[in-house]
C-alpha cells in the first residue's frame, strides 16, 4: 500500500454531487471521525494502515450518516407522517437518534433476538420499538406501517442512505488521496458502495474493497 501523499482534497470531484450534498447536510450534525494510523509489531513495514474510527461517530457507527441524510430531507408531510425502519441494531439506533434530533416520531421494527442494548438504545432515543419473531415477520410489520403512511428509512436499499454512508469514503479520499485499498464490513451493503465511489472519482485509479459480514444477532 502506498504511503499517503498529502491532503490534496481531490474527493470534492463534481462527479459526486449527491455525496457532496450529503457532506454539506451532515456537517455539524455527524462527526468527521479520525483516520488514525495503525501499526502492529508483526505488521509489514511497507504497508501503511489507517483506521477510519466510525466507532467514535454519533450512535457509535457510520449508520448515523445515512439516517441523517434521510431524515434531514423530509418534507413537512413526511415529518408529520413519521418514519419507520427495520434493523437489528445500529441502523435502528441511528434512525432513532436522528428522528429525536429532528423532532419527529420514529418506529424501529427489530427481531426480538436483537441485542438488548440496541433495543434499549432505540427506546432511549424516543423511538417506538416493535419486536418481530423473525426477519419475515419484521418485514410484515414494516410493510403494515408503511401502508399506514409512515416514511420508510431503509437501512441500505435507498439512495439517500447510501449517499450518507458515502461520506465516509469522501472523508477518507479527502484526507488520504493515495489510499489503494479500502476494507469495509458489509452486511446489506450501505457501507460498501459508499466507500469506493468517491475513491474512484478522486484518484482516477482502481480502488478495491473487500467485504466481510458483521456478526449475526444472538440466537
Ligand X SMILES: Cc1ncc(COP(=O)(O)O)c(C=O)c1O
- Residues near ligand X (CB under 6 A) are 61, 63, 89-91, 156, 185-192, 214
Complex with ligand X: residue 14 or 213, whichever CB lies closer: 213
Nearer to ligand X, 91 or 145 (CB): 91
Shortest Å distance, C-beta 81 to ligand X: 24
**Closest to ligand X by CB, 38 or 144:** 38
- Phi and psi of 130, rounded to 5°? -115, 120
What is the closest distance, in whole angstroms, from the C-beta atom of residue 167 to ligand X in the complex? 14
* CB closer to ligand X out of 90 and 167: 90
Give 79: exposed, middle or buried? Use CB within 10 Å, 0-12, 13-18, 19+.
Answer: middle
- Measured distance CA(196)–CA(201) in Å, rounded: 9
The β-bridge partners of 132 are 111
Task: Say which DSSP state 10 is in.
Answer: G
Minimum distance from CB of 212 to ligand X (Å)? 9
Cell triple for 193: 458502495
Neighbours of 214 (CB within 10 A): 14
One DSSP character per residue, 166-189 reads: HHHHHHHHHH-TT--EEEEE-SSS
CA distance 102 to 124: 15
Pick 114 or 201: Cβ nearer ligand X: 114
Provide CB contacts within 8 A for 6, sequence distance 6+: 177
Min dist. Cβ of residue 206 to ligand X (A): 21
Residue 33 C-beta: closest distance to ligand X, Å: 12
Amino acid at each position: 500500500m502506498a504511503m499517503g501523499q498529502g491532503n490534496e482534497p481531490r474527493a470534492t470531484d463534481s462527479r459526486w454531487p449527491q455525496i457532496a450534498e450529503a457532506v454539506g447536510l451532515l456537517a455539524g450534525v455527524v462527526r468527521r471521525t479520525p483516520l488514525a494510523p495503525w501499526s502492529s509489531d508483526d505488521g509489514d513495514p511497507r504497508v501503511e494502515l489507517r483506521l477510519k474510527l466510525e466507532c467514535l461517530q454519533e450512535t457509535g457507527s457510520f449508520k448515523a450518516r445515512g439516517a441523517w441524510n434521510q431524515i434531514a430531507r423530509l418534507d413537512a408531510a413526511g415529518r408529520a407522517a413519521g418514519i419507520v425502519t427495520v434493523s437489528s441494531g445500529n441502523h435502528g439506533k441511528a434512525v432513532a437518534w436522528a428522528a429525536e434530533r429532528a423532532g419527529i416520531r420514529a418506529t424501529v421494527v427489530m427481531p426480538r433476538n436483537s441485542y438488548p442494548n440496541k433495543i434499549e438504545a432505540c427506546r432511549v432515543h424516543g423511538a417506538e420499538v416493535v419486536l418481530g419473531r423473525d426477519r419475515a415477520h419484521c418485514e410484515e410489520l414494516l410493510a403494515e406501517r408503511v401502508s399506514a403512511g409512515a416514511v420508510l428509512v431503509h437501512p441500505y436499499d435507498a439512495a439517500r442512505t447510501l449517499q450518507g454512508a458515502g461520506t465516509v469514503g469522501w472523508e477518507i479520499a479527502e484526507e488520504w488521496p493515495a489510499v489503494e485499498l479500502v476494507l469495509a464490513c458489509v452486511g446489506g451493503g450501505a457501507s460498501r458502495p459508499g466507500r469506493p465511489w468517491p475513491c474512484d472519482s478522486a484518484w482516477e485509479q482502481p480502488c478495491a474493497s473487500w467485504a466481510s459480514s458483521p456478526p449475526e444477532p444472538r440466537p
